[in-house]
């Protein structure tokens, strides 16, 4: 039944991005919901207007992330989560940070409810724990990219962002920037260890990891 669900999604997702398919507990038939296109469309159009198009641009970026990380959720799930956290204009990087923070918290609680209340929870394309892991890891990389950019390390920021959007952001080598940062730390009277944050971060388990690790 899972195979059937995947095939239906592949055939119809592009045309019906609010499509939900339920297979749990079903042996010979699947339940397909096209939701409420009119209500959902109105909500999305309002969000686009309220955010000065940032909503639509962020959704496009998130679809790239989704496609390059095993498609953990359908595009309507992405839009539904964006409806819950993107309410005003902001830079795209901040919109991504807000989304991944919000989405990771929400998926950790359970499936995303239909924002219009006209359909059931939106099914995920893989176990919820795996979806949460991908969202949380993406959040860590976005946080890291913002941190590097604020510290004047654009190459390191680009490298971190590449982990989230590999098809859109070329990779970059931030090693020279990191070496320069450590040198400045030592010259300022610190140590290489303190420059790396080892004095306080030893044992920390939340550093960015490769996808699927």
Element (H, E) at 21: strand 20-22
Helix (H, G, I), strand (E, B) or coil at 20: strand
**C-beta separation of 21 from 32 below 8 A:** yes
pLDDT tens digits for 73-122?
Answer: 999 999 999 999 999 999 999 999 999 999 999 999 999 998 878 778 99
Helix (H, G, I), strand (E, B) or coil at 196: helix
Q: What is this structure's pTM? A: 0.69
Angstrom distance (rounded) from CA 161 to CA 197: 21
What is the reported pLDDT for 203?
Answer: 36
What is the reported pLDDT for 58?
Answer: 95
**C-beta separation of 120 from 21 below 8 A:** no
Q: Pull the structure tokens for residue 1.
A: 């039944």
pLDDT tens digits for 200-210?
Answer: 333 333 344 44
Among 19-28, 83-92, 187-196, the range with the most confident prediction by mean pLDDT is 83-92
Among 38-42, 54-58, 112-116, the range with the most confident prediction by mean pLDDT is 54-58
Element (H, E) at 83: helix 75-83
What is the reported pLDDT for 29?
Answer: 55
Helix (H, G, I), strand (E, B) or coil at 15: coil
Alpha helices in 84-127 (DSSP H): 92-109
**DSSP strands (E only) in the chain:** 20-22, 31-33
Residue 22 main-chain phi, psi, to 5 deg: -110, 130
Closest CA to 33 of 9, 4, 61: 9
């Amino acid at each position: 039944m899972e195979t059937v669900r995947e095939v239906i999604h592949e055939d119809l997702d592009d045309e019906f991005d609010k499509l939900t398919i339920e297979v749990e507990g079903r042996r010979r038939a699947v339940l397909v919901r096209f939701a409420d296109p009119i209500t959902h469309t109105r909500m999305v159009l309002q969000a686009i207007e309220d955010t000065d198009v940032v909503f639509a641009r962020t959704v496009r970026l998130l679809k790239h992330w989704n496609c390059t990380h095993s498609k953990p959720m359908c595009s309507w799930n992405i839009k539904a989560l964006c409806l819950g956290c993107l309410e005003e204009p902001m830079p795209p990087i901040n919109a991504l940070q807000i989304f991944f923070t919000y989405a990771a918290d929400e998926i950790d609680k359970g499936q995303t409810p239909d924002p219009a209340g006209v359909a059931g929870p939106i099914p995920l394309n893989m176990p919820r724990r795996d979806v949460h892991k991908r969202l949380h890891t993406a959040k860590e990389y976005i946080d890291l990219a913002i941190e590097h950019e604020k510290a004047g390390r654009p190459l390191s920021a680009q490298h971190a962002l590449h982990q989230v959007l590999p098809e859109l952001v070329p990779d970059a080598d931030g090693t020279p920037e990191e070496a320069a940062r450590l040198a400045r730390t030592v010259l300022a009277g610190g140590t290489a260890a303190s420059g790396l944050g080892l004095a306080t971060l030893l044992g920390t388990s939340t550093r960015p990891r490769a996808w699927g690790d």
